[in-house]
Amino acid sequence: MLFDFGLDFTLPDKDGRAFPLTSLLGRYVVLYFFPRAGTPGCTREAREFQENLPRFRSQGAEVVGVSPDSPMRLARFAERNALEFPLLSDEDGKLAEAYGVRSEGKFVRSTFLLDRAGVVRWAWRNVLVPGHVEEVLTTLEALIKAERNVNALIAVRRAKRALRPDPIPQEDITRLIEAAHLAPSCFNNQPWRFVVAQGEKLEEVKKALPGGNYWALKAPAIVAVASHPDLDCRLSDHRDYFLFDCGLAVGFLMVQATQIGLVAHPIAGYDPLAVKRALGIPEDYILITLVVLGWPGDPADLSEKHRELELGPRIRRPLAEVLGWNAFPKEEK
Ligand SMILES: Cc1cc2nc3c(=O)[nH]c(=O)nc-3n(C[C@H](O)[C@H](O)[C@H](O)COP(=O)(O)O)c2cc1C
CATH number at residue 275: 3.40.109.10
Q: Among 128, 146, 164, identify where a domain stops.
A: 146
Check whether residue 83 and residue 230 sit in a common domain: no
Check whether residue 216 and residue 288 sit in a common domain: yes
Residue nearest (by alpha carbon) to ligand 1 atom 13: 267
Q: Report if residue 2 sits inside a domain.
A: no
Total domain count, the chain? 2
Helix (H) / strand (E) element for 313: namely none
pLDDT by residue for the chain (333 residues), tens only, comes to 334 557 889 999 999 999 999 999 999 999 999 999 999 999 999 999 999 999 999 999 999 999 999 999 999 999 999 999 999 999 999 999 999 999 998 999 999 999 999 999 999 999 999 999 999 999 999 999 999 999 999 999 999 999 999 999 999 999 999 999 999 999 999 999 999 999 999 999 999 999 999 999 999 999 999 999 999 999 999 999 999 999 999 999 999 999 999 999 999 999 999 999 999 999 999 999 999 999 999 999 999 999 999 999 999 999 999 999 999 998 866
Q: Report if residue 132 sits inside a domain.
A: yes
Q: Report if residue 3 sits inside a domain.
A: no
Pocket flag, ligand 1, residue 93 (CB < 6 Å): no
Q: Which domain holds residue 316?
A: 155-322
Whole-number Å distance between alpha carbons of 329 and 71: 57
Pocket flag, ligand 1, residue 267 (CB < 6 Å): yes
Whole-number Å distance between alpha carbons of 288 and 263: 19
Q: Report if residue 1 sits inside a domain.
A: no
Q: Among 146, 179, 200, identify where a domain stops.
A: 146
Check whether residue 268 and residue 286 sit in a common domain: yes
Alpha helices in the chain (DSSP H): 40-51, 53-58, 71-81, 94-98, 132-146, 152-156, 170-181, 199-206, 242-259, 272-279, 304-311, 319-322
Pocket flag, ligand 1, residue 75 (CB < 6 Å): no
Residue nearest (by alpha carbon) to ligand 1 atom 11: 213
Check whether residue 164 and residue 241 sit in a common domain: yes
Check whether residue 54 and residue 122 sit in a common domain: yes
Check whether residue 135 and residue 213 sit in a common domain: no
Q: Among 85, 113, 146, identify where a domain stops.
A: 146
Give catalytic status of residue 186 as yes or no.
no
Q: Report if residue 173 sits inside a domain.
A: yes
